[in-house]
Structure formats: structure tokens, C-alpha cells
């Protein structure tokens, strides 16, 4: 089993969507990086991701990894946020049939699974439809 450090190290990103932005070329990184992969600049400043975006692609997971067994089936998508950053997460609070490419979503803070490798509850973000 991992120590809790592996979990809490990621909390700024997973709970608060903290990212960073290259001061030289403007690319935004999530999770934050030490080095820009476009221009190699090491000068990056803190920023926060947009909280709305649209679905680029999605699937319904029917055969899950062990931590997610009690949740299956569930939808996972890649969302392009309004700031252009693309992230993966579950798409919830809607019927699978309503999920479409281009669907507008917002990012919400949710529990992801019950007990992680560190023996603790694991939280993060999920996507929910913008208009219901």
C-alpha cells in the first residue's frame, strides 16, 4: 500500500484545479510542470483551470479496475475546458444517452472512489452537464 503522501501531493490539482502557465509561450499545464514542453522555459507561473468546457470524446466503462467495481457502468470523457486545456474525468449526473460530443459541462468537486492505495477516501473532479 502507498503512503498517504502520494495522495495529498496531488491535492492542489485535484481539489482546486491548480495549474501553471509558461511565462514565455503561454501554454497552460495540468498538472503543473517544472518545464515547458514547447519552449523549454523554466519560468512558469501559477494559474487555475477554467471550470467549464465541452466533451471531446467519451466512453462508458463496463469492465472497471478494482477500485471502481461498485460504480460500473460509468462514463469517462475527455473535456476541453474554456481555456483550451484538455483533461480526463467521469461525466456524471446525466443519462449515458444524453452524453454527446460537444456537450457543455462544468467541473465539480466529487468523491471518486472509496478507498485508494493509501487506505483513504479519494476525491477529485468530475464533469456534470451545464444546463439541465
Partner 1 sequence: MREVAAIGVGITKWGELWKKSFRDIYVETALLALEDAGVDRIDSMYVGSMSSGLFVGQEHIAALLADYLGQTPVPSTRVETACASGGLALKLGYMEVASGMSDVVLVSGIEKMTDVSGNEATYALGTAADQEYEGYHGITFPGLYALIAVAHMEKYGTTREQMAMVSVKNHKNGTKNPVAQFPFEITVDQVLNSVMVADPLRILDCSPITDGAAAIILYPAELAKKMGKPVVKIIGTGHATDTIELSQRTDITWLNATYLAAKSAYAMADKKPEDIDLVEVHDCFTIAEICVTEALGFIEKGKGGEAVEQELTAIDGKIPVNPSGGLKSKGHPVGASGVAQAVEVVKQLRSDCCDRQVSDARIGMTQNMGGSGASAVVHIFERE
With contacts defined by CB under 8 A, name the span among 18-26, 39-47, 87-95 that binds partner 1.
87-95
User: Is there a contact between 86 and 56 (Cβ–Cβ < 8 Å)?
Assistant: yes
User: Is there a contact between 14 and 123 (Cβ–Cβ < 8 Å)?
Assistant: yes
Q: Quick check: 25 binds partner 1 (CB under 8 A)?
A: no
Q: Quick check: 50 binds partner 1 (CB under 8 A)?
A: no
Residue that is written with C-alpha cell 491548480 in the block? 18
Q: Which is nearer to Zn ion, 22 or 79 (CB)?
A: 22
Cα angle 89, 62, 91 (rounded to 5 degrees) comes to: 25
User: Cell digits for 8?
Assistant: 495529498
Which one of 12, 32, 64, 129 is in contact with partner 1 (CB under 8 A)?
A: 64
What is the binding site for partner 1 (CB under 8 A)? 10, 14, 31, 56-69, 71, 74, 76-78, 86-90, 96, 101, 112-113, 122, 124
Amino acid at each position: 500500500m502507498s503512503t498517504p503522501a502520494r495522495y495529498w501531493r496531488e491535492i492542489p490539482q485535484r481539489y482546486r484545479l491548480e495549474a501553471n502557465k509558461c511565462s514565455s509561450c503561454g501554454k497552460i499545464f495540468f498538472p503543473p510542470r517544472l518545464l515547458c514542453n514547447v519552449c523549454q522555459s523554466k519560468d512558469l507561473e501559477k494559474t487555475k483551470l477554467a471550470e467549464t468546457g465541452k466533451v471531446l470524446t467519451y466512453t462508458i466503462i463496463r469492465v472497471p479496475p478494482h477500485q471502481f467495481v461498485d460504480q460500473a457502468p460509468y462514463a469517462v470523457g475527455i473535456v476541453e475546458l474554456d481555456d483550451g486545456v484538455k483533461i480526463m474525468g467521469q461525466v456524471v449526473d446525466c443519462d449515458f444517452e444524453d452524453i454527446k460530443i460537444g456537450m457543455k459541462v462544468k467541473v465539480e468537486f466529487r468523491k471518486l472512489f472509496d478507498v485508494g492505495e493509501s487506505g483513504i477516501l479519494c476525491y477529485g473532479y468530475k464533469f456534470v452537464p451545464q444546463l439541465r
